[in-house]
Amino acid sequence: MGCALPRFSVIVPAYQVQPYLHDCLRSVLTQDFTDFELIAVDDRSPDACGSIIDDAAAHDPRVRPVHLTDNVGLGPARNAGLGRATGDYVLFLDGDDTLAPGALRAIAERLAATGEPEVLLFDYARVYWTGRAVRNVRAELLRQSGPESFRLDDRPELLRLLMVAWNKAYRRDFLAREGFTFPPGYYEDTPWTYPVLLTARSLAVLDRVCVHYRQRRRGGILRTPSRRHLDVFDQYDRVFRFLDSRPDLAHWRPALFQRMLDHLAAVFTSPGRLPRGARAEFFRRAGAHHRRYRPGGATSPPGRAWWRGLLLRIGARRVFQFLRGADRMRRRAAELGAAAYVRLRAVALRAHYRVQRLRPLDRRLAVFAAYWNKGYACNPAAIEAKVRELAPHIRTAWITTREHAHTLPPGVRRLHPGSPAYWTALARAAYLVNNVNFTPRLRKRPGQIHLQTHHGTPLKHMGLDLLDRPAAARSIDFNELLERVDHWDFSLSANRHSTLVWERVYPSGYATLEYGFPRNDVFQRATAEDVARVRERLGVPEGATAVLYAPTHRDYQRGYLPRLDLGRVARALGPGFVFLVRPHYFYGPDGPHGAVGADGAHGLPGEAAGGRVIDVSGHTGVEELCLAADALLTDYSSIMFDYANLDRPIVIHADDWDAYRAARGTYFDITTAPPGPVTRSEDELIEVFATSAWCDPRHDARRAAFRARFCPHDDGRAAERVVRRVFLGEPSESLPPVVPLADRRPAPAPSARRPAAAQAPAPAPP
């Protein structure tokens, strides 16, 4: 760093957090933004925190260790670090929490973009001991609206955020000017955060998870029974003394009063905080605070908050507890009533389904679904559209929720999962089409035709091959799986490799239709104008090279953990590249492994990359994303087999190939027979794109061999072959012949392979 002052001072107090402190310090020291000092304060911790800090300082000069001679508590320990800070901005991080990858760079660039505000508020995610991560439920408050920089009066709703010190960056000269310090005792963030927000002349927000807030299995210090929870009253005394000293802030008194009541009620009613002997005292002091700080002339209309305030004011603790108990009983009764309704409804629907199964099959009805009812997509969507074209006498219905209803084309009837109409359709439809599974309660009738379309060419082990893969199989009931397979009449296959795999891992008496994947028909039919429209809709700048990044999920890890720092990659490649990021559908908000990433939205550092990283996880049609992309970047996702139909560059990023293959199992080694370059590290990946190796003609032969093996039938007429065979009953020999690969003309690439790509900046240092 030399003599220059750092951009950030990151202050980490540590007391009895030795299991977590290594991760905390490492999360700071491995940030790609390096202009910071890390002030680690050992609060006379009786465990190994002090030696962990000293070891980190010995290995990295940016670590400044501070050892206190007495245990002073979290607030004074932070003050000790603050007194030694030299950075432009100060951040606080508790010793058991971590910074998200790329957080400091995102904060630095947001500060620069918003005019160096006195306080920047950013988001966090709760990370549970199971590995599950959940973003702050009030994340929407951090979305940019109005001016980039503002005062709290312009956005008072920010007071609803968690009032902690570690979800903000503070300009150090602002803290020094106002003389802000932390008080001793529990709830020390309260008299810090409110004055800071009320006083700051400029605030800004960053809609990105920057802190991973650890949720310990046994709970943190504020979940431990102690009389020290009564410190909350002293902290609010400090808040209101500050307010009294600043007449210009008097208009905030009603809001802070209400926040105080909510806070006191939360402490009083939270199990495990107050010892039994302290509950009466706590309630008595809460009433005194209500009377002392109640704004003059407050006339809130009668309601739960009004009655709660009245009971506090008059000291009616037993009535308060009785009413709270009655409220819990009312909610419990409502829950029991709702549960009873659900059970009765389920019984009624089962009876309804049995009755409907006695009625004749409707030979003119076909029911479709995809991806566990998530909308109009994949092979079933392409087949449904072709049914309406070639077999208009057949009515089609699609199973999906209201959330995904907008994906349905006009005229396609929606069936809500679990509704009476849904069960009627499943009981009577002559055709059932899905790319996954229908409900296990489905009882296939004689005469019903079940078409299983699948949703990808298998690279990873599937079906019965997972019997010896417990990490991947997890809770699969293989007997139930095979019962569902026995429902299939037809299994759709894209190539001989898939056929051989499906027939072995899903053994039953179905017929295989090796016709190609209908969802890929669009690749042979789309025009240059179609491609341009999709790119414009996605926000791809004119002339930019768009790279579709579509990683698969990992069975050996929980939740979505980004394997690439796309912000760094985008910055290294410069403005000529744009990344369209599509995480695996398992990691959507309603996916089976749904979880937040580094910023709560799949770890996409869009702002940090100057807008060159575009989150397309909510885009329904992955086929459109393929059309828009100049190249595909993936790891082991089956999207590579579909994208190969476009005959455009494919880059395989196989940084964890050995671990992935060991956990999941694969049918062949993609790294020895890839359709394009293979990278093993982020630096290698940057070099491949920076030097134009991604589009080197030397890879054309590899890609051609890959297409010949995995795309032999994807000629644009796969859906037609399926409809004529399954829905119209035409014999196989009369179906449209397959167009040879050499005669196919896939959709034109969005842009020529620009020589300018070779002039991209050299890779940035890690």
pLDDT tens string 32-56: 999 999 999 999 999 999 999 999 9
User: What pLDDT sits at residue 162?
Assistant: 87
Give pLDDT tens digits for 422-470.
Answer: 999 999 999 999 999 999 999 999 999 999 999 999 999 999 998 887 7
Instruction: List Cβ<8 Å contacts ≥24 apart for 296-300.
Output: 298/254, 298/257
User: What pLDDT sits at residue 738?
Assistant: 96
- On whether both 152 and 55 belong to a single domain, the answer is yes
Position 59 in a domain: yes
- On whether both 19 and 110 belong to a single domain, the answer is yes
Position 319 in a domain: no
- On whether both 65 and 166 belong to a single domain, the answer is yes
Whole-angstrom distance, CA of residue 676 vs CA of residue 632: 10
Task: Provide the domain count of the chain.
Answer: 3
Domain finish residue from 184, 208, 224: 224
Q: Which two tokens stand for residue 652?
A: 């395989």
Positions of the chain with pLDDT lower than 70, given as ranges: 1-3, 217-225, 272, 297-331, 471, 556-562, 584-611, 751-766
- On whether both 590 and 633 belong to a single domain, the answer is yes
Whole-angstrom distance, CA of residue 754 vs CA of residue 209: 36
CB atoms near residue 555 (< 10 Å): 20
Position 328 in a domain: no
User: What pLDDT sits at residue 330?
Assistant: 66
- On whether both 488 and 567 belong to a single domain, the answer is no
Whole-angstrom distance, CA of residue 114 vs CA of residue 380: 47
The CATH number given to whatever domain includes residue 487 is 3.40.50.11820
Domain that holds residue 156: 8-224
- On whether both 29 and 109 belong to a single domain, the answer is yes
Give pLDDT tens digits for 177-206.
Answer: 999 999 998 889 899 999 999 999 999 999
Position 133 in a domain: yes
User: What pLDDT sits at residue 521?
Assistant: 97
- On whether both 650 and 691 belong to a single domain, the answer is yes
What is the C-alpha end-to-end distance of the chain, expressed in Å? 17
The CATH number given to whatever domain includes residue 625 is 3.40.50.12580
Whole-angstrom distance, CA of residue 640 vs CA of residue 522: 16
Domain finish residue from 183, 209, 224: 224
Position 71 in a domain: yes
DSSP code, position 676: S
CA–centroid distance for 486 within its chain = 35
Position 766 in a domain: no
- On whether both 480 and 584 belong to a single domain, the answer is no
Locus of tokens 């409707």: 362
DSSP code, position 127: E
Instruction: List Cβ<8 Å contacts ≥24 apart for 23-26.
Output: 23/98, 24/93, 24/94, 24/95, 24/96, 24/97, 24/98, 25/52, 25/53, 25/56, 25/63, 26/98
Whole-angstrom distance, CA of residue 245 vs CA of residue 179: 14
Q: Is the dihedral of CA 47, 51, 53, 56 positive or negative?
A: negative
Domain finish residue from 489, 520, 551: 520
User: What pLDDT sits at residue 601?
Assistant: 38
- On whether both 569 and 443 belong to a single domain, the answer is no
- On whether both 619 and 672 belong to a single domain, the answer is yes
Whole-angstrom distance, CA of residue 291 vs CA of residue 233: 13
- On whether both 472 and 548 belong to a single domain, the answer is no
Position 414 in a domain: yes
The CATH number given to whatever domain includes residue 101 is 3.90.550.10
- On whether both 391 and 510 belong to a single domain, the answer is yes
The chain-wide mean pLDDT, for the chain, equals 87
Do the strands 650-653 and 631-634 form a parallel or antiparallel pair, or are they unpaired? parallel
The SS3 assignment for 613 reads strand
Position 535 in a domain: no
